[in-house]
Homo-oligomer: A and B are copies of this chain.
Amino acid sequence: MNVWDAIYNKRAIRAFRDAPLPDDVVERILEAGRVAQSSRNEQPWDFIAVRDRERLRQLAASGYYPFVAQSGLTVVITTPPMDVDKPLNFAMYLFDVGQAAANMQLAAQELGVGSGLGRVFKGDVARELLAYPADKEATMLIAFGYPESDDMLTRKGEPNRRPFDDVVHYETW
């Protein structure tokens, strides 16, 4: 699959078939996140990769995410927590996490695997379940799995986005 097709066709998938993801698929997805670039190569992330069905069911309650319970893999991404005196540092962590998240989802798309993002709204639920340390915080998760139907990996019609001329300003605003 070429890069443009992966970018253009990737949609948020929130309905998965009950089928496990093979180990090599899981590893490829995680590897795509691991090799992502980051500011000063800090790699501020850790990836907690959950595949156990019962744990996925419990993890679904960290937000209201039935699709996490159905997924074949959900990756919970932790970073250092926000320091209220330096909120921009945390924003930069999330910029880097955004790049790693895109890598993982595009690598998945190439393998016929769909993905859906979620915020971790209930950090206490996630922390108790996944046992990450006090100096880490989970903000985002990504659920991966084979979509309910394969055609969900192909976009039909124009994406629902702001028009090009609204988003892009040439030379100056």
Interface residues of A (CB under 8 A from B): 1-4, 6-8, 10-12, 27-28, 30-37, 39, 41, 43, 45-52, 55, 82, 84, 87-88, 90-99, 101-103, 106-107, 109-110, 117, 119, 129-133, 136, 139-140, 159-162, 164, 167-173
- Please tell me if the beta carbons of A168 and B94 are within 8 angstroms of each other in the complex: no
User: Contact check: which of B30, B92, B96 meets A168 at CB < 8 Å?
Assistant: B30
CA separation between A32 and B7, bound complex, in Å?
7
Copies of this chain, complex-wide, total 2
Query: Chain B residues near A31 (CB, 8 Å)?
Result: 164
- Please tell me if the beta carbons of A43 and B167 are within 8 angstroms of each other in the complex: yes
- Please tell me if the beta carbons of B48 and A172 are within 8 angstroms of each other in the complex: yes
Query: Chain B residues near A3 (CB, 8 Å)?
Result: 1-3, 6, 106-107, 109-110
Q: Which of A12, A49, A173 has the most CB of B within 10 A?
A: A173
- Please tell me if the beta carbons of B173 and A133 are within 8 angstroms of each other in the complex: yes
User: Contact check: which of B7, B90, B103, B161 meets A107 at CB < 8 Å?
Assistant: B7
CA separation between A91 and B8, bound complex, in Å?
25
- 8 contacting pairs across A/B (C-beta < 8 A): A1-B3, A2-B3, A30-B167, A34-B164, A34-B167, A35-B159, A39-B119, A131-B172
